Every structure is written in C-alpha cells, then in structure tokens.
Amino acid sequence: MKKIEHIGIAVKSLEESNILFSKLFGKPHYKVEEVENEGVKTSFFEVGGQKIELLEATKETSPIAKFIEKKGEGIHHIAFDVDDIESEVKRLKEEGFVVLNELPKKGADNKLIIFLHPKTTNGVLIELCQEMINKK
C-alpha cells in the first residue's frame, strides 16, 4: 500500500454536508460524482493534498443507507492507494484478510476498488484503490 488515498464519510444529505464541509475547510468541494452500481452520490474535497469523500445513499439498498441506519453518520471507510490491486488483494488474502468483493469494481474518481471486510480489520472498512489507466 502506498498512501491514504481518501477518507470516506457517510452523510444523510450531500447538499447540506457540502455546505458544512465547505465552511470547515474554507473552500468548496471540487466535484460531485454518482456511482450508480454502488447506490451512492459522492463529493470530493481537497485539503492539503488529501482527499475527503462524502457519500450519500441514492437508494434504500445502498451500503451507505444501511451504514447510516445502523451507526449514524460518520467515518465510513479509509481508502489506500495501491499500484496493482490484484496482487495486493492476493497478498492480503494470504495474510488472512477477507474481501467484500472478489473482483475489483469501478468506484468514484476513476478507480478500481476492493473493500476488505471490517471484521478482519478491527472494525475499520478498508478500501483499496488503483487508478484506472484509461482516463477519459
């Protein structure tokens, strides 16, 4: 793993939280992106070279809707940048970690992503993300 790529925060209302976090950081979000297959709408803030991702559920079956129902709003996941997601997942599985999705899926921000099950990571949902090569 290379570095923290972003921290994901689950929110009830992206619109309201965009205003709140703009006040907190002193600058607005730089993009909004919907990830349909995940049932989320995201916005991104940049703070000192670090990214913060806000996530709002777009449907009841969204993992974000379930998370908020169970735990309320708050930090949802920490994402780490990797060069080669498949070899990193292979390594982590050999170490005993459990993945939530076997195959990398398309996430926000032009990334291939895989989540590790929080029961194997002290309750912290870990996202691995690899930059996709084919940029639009």
Q: Which is nearer to Zn ion, 35 or 92 (CB)?
A: 35
Question: Quick check: 128 and 87 in contact, CB under 8 A?
Answer: no
Distance in Å, CB of 78 to Zn ion, minimum: 8
- Using DSSP's 3-state secondary structure scheme, residue 97 falls into coil
Q: Which residues bind Zn ion (CB under 5 A)?
A: 8, 53, 79, 127
Q: Which is nearer to Zn ion, 53 or 56 (CB)?
A: 53
Beta bridge partners of 106: 112
Question: Quick check: 116 and 125 in contact, CB under 8 A?
Answer: yes
- Using DSSP's 3-state secondary structure scheme, residue 66 falls into helix
Distance in Å, CB of 62 to Zn ion, minimum: 14
Q: Which is nearer to Zn ion, 96 or 125 (CB)?
A: 125
Distance in Å, CB of 6 to Zn ion, minimum: 6
Distance in Å, CB of 111 to Zn ion, minimum: 8
The Cα–Cα gap between 83 and 86 comes to: 9
Q: Which is nearer to Zn ion, 8 or 39 (CB)?
A: 8
The Cα–Cα gap between 52 and 6 comes to: 5
